[in-house]
Each structure stands twice: as C-alpha cells, then as structure tokens.
Structure 1
Amino acid sequence: MTQPDDEIALDVCWLEPPEPMERILDALSTLPPGKRLRVLIHREPIPLYRILGNNGYAYRTQCRDDHLYEILIWQK
C-alpha cells in the first residue's frame, strides 16, 4: 500500500510514554498546510484526543486487525 501524497506517516509503536505523545505533537507542529498525519501506535492514545480537539484538529481512529491503532489527524 502506498502513502497518499497528502499524508505524512508516523510510527510510534512500542515507544515508552511520553515519547509517542511528544513525537505526535512535534510532527503536528511542523505539519505543512493541507497535509494530514497518519499515526500508528500500539494502544489508543485517549489523552491525545482532548489535546487535538483543543488545538483545532480533527481525527479518525481505527483499530486494525493486528490490534494496532491508526489515527488520521488533520487541521479543521
């Protein structure tokens, strides 16, 4: 499967907290206009959702068959 041109992929699986959150927020701070961030993580990052909502981001979360979470994040 190829990565769409309007997405940037970030794999933070199996990193110890708070590194996944830090990497996601760093990636969002440099996300070019019109791009979306696709995050792969080994658990659902519940605390991230409030941060996203408070900072003008929308997201869609999917639990995959391999039990990893894929979160697509974009600016509202």
Structure 2
Amino acid sequence: MKLDNRGLEPPQPMMRTLATLEDLPEGETLSIINDRRPMFLYEQLDEMGCRHVTSELEDGSFLIEIKK
C-alpha cells in the first residue's frame, strides 16, 4: 500500500499514516512519501512494533517503508 503525504502540514502526515496503519494487515508493508523526515513518527512506530526504513529521494522528499 502507498500513501503520498507531500504537501500536507504537520501533524496531518503522521495522523494519516497512523490511521492507515490501523487497517494494514500484519506482515504487510506501507510505503509513505513525506516532504520531511518524520522524526516524531519513528517513536510511534517503534512502540507499535513496526519495522521501518527511510530513504531520501532525489527530489528531497523521504520514502518510509513500514512493515507491520
């Protein structure tokens, strides 16, 4: 599943991501694209037991792949 959060003001990207993760089946991966590195999201993901990898894209946005 993919979620494009570019152009949204904080905290909307984090709220959208967490809401989408609620419905994501165990073992599935959510790929999100943000304008900035989601520093506050990482703590939430760790508490939820999700694994995550962040990559900076050529346009300066960030791809975060989250495995539930």
TM more than 0.5: yes
Q: Which has the higher helix share?
A: 2
Please say which structure displays the higher CA radius of gyration.
Answer: 1
TM-aligned CA deviation for residue 33 of structure 1: 2.6
Pair 1:19 & 2:6 matched:
no
Identity %: 37
1:59 corresponds to which of 52, 55, 58: 52
Q: TM-score, normalised by structure 2?
A: 0.95
User: Where has structure 1 moved over 4 Å in runs of 4 or more?
Assistant: none
Pair 1:35 & 2:28 matched:
yes
Structure 1: stretches of 5+ with no match in the other structure: 1-7
Higher relative contact order (CA 8 A, sep 6+): 2
TM-aligned CA deviation for residue 35 of structure 1: 1.4
Pair 1:69 & 2:57 matched:
no
